[in-house]
């Protein structure tokens, strides 16, 4: 039950809510932030140890040359896709209900993209030489395509976050207390670009945001496609599959929307935004999640069926180990807990509550991380000559770094909303000026 955003009192309430992380975050904020920062610091220390000692400390060996870091790279960049979907696609389809959650979705996209990109460096044996990728790249390498795609998408995501933020930065500028430092005031004056909300400015902004919303979709598709192609441009059974591009994109969308659900639920609770983000938002997101889960299941089925039916000499062991062998518990666990249960929780009316939908989303995120491990490990350890499989080790270094990256995302989000309002105030005022937010387009 959202009050009319037009009246001064409701507008003030909206602004108060949107700026709560900046102005009155609550006593829990700094302890949690410092705790997360501590975890990230420990992870960084583990990484330094890894650089000095070599990658063996992360559990790698010649018969298991790819593992958790590569799975994390795909997973963490994958969860950044929620932003592209919620913000860009929902904008282009005129789904007004997206308004209260676009800011969080875009922020999640940016933060998780940066953290995911870090894994591209973490998995290298000589990370100090990445400058060579810029100075002397070889265009035929999928890793060069990765660099190009990720950096382009990063720029586009940053622009896509910034442009609709301009009106809100103007509001922030206006809301700055008198005792705010001059530098801060100058900063917000700079980035707000003198926005005053004139029709001309609004026209310019809408045009630009519309353009970037269109442009960011193929860019987003390209990022996860080239990430997938780093695997499928090899002849290894289990990786050399033409479905990999679309497979990874759909997987990223699924896990991305799921992460948006979790982040929105968490910040809604933490900053008391229940007034603006209702159960209907979660239901809509969960429905999208369910559809994506079904598509992902379809792709997985197609993969397993194609490989398992023909069972070439190279592919047969991978299928066997996945469906009935050492990785079978993980695989079927993923299918049940990572696909079916989230779908059930998302569509059943009995589980139509924020708690269950967040559970569904959590299962989806963890399940998709597990699935990326299932994509990476069997093929990386499968023998190409003879029949001796490699063995994977999960070491403390790898675990600590993964946990650190997981902690870096909420930390990054908490810090980001100290600089910008957590709700897209201007968009909400534009899109939802009167009655309750239109969910699924009912109230127009």
Partner 1 sequence: MPRHVPPIRSIVGGTAVAVMLLGLALASPVVASDPPAELTFIAERRAEGGWMLRATLTQGGAVQSQQTVEFLQAVDFFGPRWIPLGNATTDTSGVASRLYSPTSNGVQRLVARHAALQSAPVEITVVGAVPAIPREPADLPIVRAWALPIGAAVLVGVWLMLAAILLSAVIGISRSARRKARDNRLGDTIGQSISEQA
Partner 2 sequence: MADTPVPSPTKAPSVEEGSARLHLSRRQALMALAGAGSALSAGPLLGALVSGRTGRADRGLLANGAEAEGARRWAMVIDLRRCDGCKKCTEACQTKHYLPPEQEWIKVYTLRDRTGVEFNVPRLCMHCEDAPCVRVCPVAATFVNRDGLVLVDQEKCIGCRLCMAACPYEARYFNWTEPTIRPPLPTIPTPEFPAPQQRGTVGKCVLCVHNIGHGELPYCVVACNMDAIYIGDLDADVATNGTETVRLSTFLSQNNAIRLKEELNTKPRVWYIPGHGEDLGW
Residue ranges in contact with partner 1 by CB under 8 A: 139, 148, 152, 155-156, 159, 162-163, 166, 193-196, 198, 200-201, 204-205, 208-209, 211-212, 215, 219
**Closer to partner 2 by Cβ: residue 202 or 287:** 202
- 93 sits near partner 2 (criterion: CB under 8 A): no
* Under rule CB under 8 A, residue 242 binds partner 2: no
Task: Confirm or reject binding of residue 61 to partner 2 (CB under 8 A).
Answer: yes
- Using CB under 8 A as the binding rule, whether residue 11 contacts partner 2 is answered as yes
Q: Supply the minimum distance, in Å, between the C-beta of residue 4 and partner 2.
A: 10
Residue 312: CB minimum distance to partner 1, A: 23
How many of the chain's residues bind partner 2 (CB under 8 A)? Answer: 74
Q: At closest approach, how far in Å is the CB of 188 from partner 1?
A: 14
Closest approach, Cβ 170 to partner 1, in A, equals 9
Residue 31 interacts with partner 2 (CB under 8 A)? no
Q: Which of partner 2, partner 1, none interacts with 200 (beta carbon under 5 to 8 A by kind)?
A: partner 1
> What are φ and ψ of residue 61, in 5° steps?
-155, 180
Contact stretch for partner 2 (CB under 8 A) within 16-24, 130-138, 253-261, 280-288 = 130-138
Residues 391-430 that bind partner 2 (CB under 8 A): 429-430
Under the criterion CB under 8 A, does residue 8 sit at the interface with partner 2?
A: yes
Pick the stretch among 35-43, 102-110, 177-185, 201-209 that binds partner 2 (CB under 8 A). 201-209
Near partner 2 by CB under 8 A: residue from 110, 111, 114, 438: 438
Question: Which is nearer to partner 1, 215 or 359 (by Cβ)?
Answer: 215
CB of 129 to partner 2, least distance (A): 5
- 142 binds, options partner 2, partner 1, none, Cβ within 5 to 8 A by partner type: partner 2
166 vs 375 by CB, closer to partner 1 = 166
Pick out residues in 292-331 that bind partner 2 (CB under 8 A).
none
């Amino acid at each position: 039950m959202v009050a009319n955003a037009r009246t001064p009192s409701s507008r003030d309430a909206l602004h108060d809510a949107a700026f709560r992380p900046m102005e009155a975050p609550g006593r829990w904020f700094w302890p949690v932030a410092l705790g997360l920062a501590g975890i990230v610091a420990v992870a960084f220390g583990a990484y330094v140890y890894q650089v000095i000692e070599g990658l063996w400390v992360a559990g790698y060996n010649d018969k298991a040359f790819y593992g958790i870091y590569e799975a994390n790279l795909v997973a963490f960049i994958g969860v950044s896709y929620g932003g592209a979907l919620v913000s860009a696609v929902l904008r282009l389809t005129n789904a007004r209900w997206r308004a209260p959650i676009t800011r969080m979705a875009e922020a999640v996209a940016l933060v998780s993209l940066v953290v995911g990109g870090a894994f591209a460096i973490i998995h290298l044996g000589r990370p100090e030489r990445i400058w060579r990728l810029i100075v002397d790249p070889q265009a035929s390498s999928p890793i060069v395509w990765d660099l190009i795609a990720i950096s382009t998408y990063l720029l586009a995501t940053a622009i896509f976050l910034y442009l609709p933020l301009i009106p809100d930065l103007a509001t922030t500028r206006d809301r700055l207390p008198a005792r705010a430092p001059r530098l801060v005031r100058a900063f917000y004056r700079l980035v707000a670009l003198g926005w005053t909300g004139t029709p001309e400015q609004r026209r310019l902004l809408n045009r630009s945001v519309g353009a970037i919303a269109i442009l960011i979709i193929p860019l987003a598709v390209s990022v996860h496609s080239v990430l997938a192609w780093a695997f499928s441009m090899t002849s290894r059974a289990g990786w050399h599959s033409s479905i990999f591009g679309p497979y990874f994109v759909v997987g990223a969308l699924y896990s991305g929307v799921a992460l948006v659900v979790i982040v929105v639920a968490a910040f809604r609770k933490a900053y008391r935004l229940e007034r603006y983000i209702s159960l209907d938002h979660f239901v809509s997101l969960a429905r999208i999640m369910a559809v994506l889960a079904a598509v992902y299941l379809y792709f997985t089925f197609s993969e397993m069926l194609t490989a398992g039916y023909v069972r070439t000499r190279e592919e047969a062991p991978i299928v066997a180990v996945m469906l009935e062998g050492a990785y079978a518990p993980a695989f079927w666990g993923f299918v049940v807990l990572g696909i079916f249960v989230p779908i059930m929780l998302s569509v059943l009316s009995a589980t139509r509550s924020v708690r269950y939908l967040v559970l569904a989303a959590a299962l989806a995120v963890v399940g998709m991380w597990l699935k990326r491990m299932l994509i990476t490990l069997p093929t990386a350890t499968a023998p190409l000559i003879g029949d001796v499989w490699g063995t994977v080790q999960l070491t403390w270094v790898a675990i600590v770094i993964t946990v650190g990256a997981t902690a870096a995302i909420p930390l990054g989000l908490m810090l980001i909303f100290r600089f910008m309002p957590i709700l897209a105030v201007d968009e909400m005022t534009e899109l939802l000026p009167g009655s309750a937010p239109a969910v699924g387009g009912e109230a127009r």
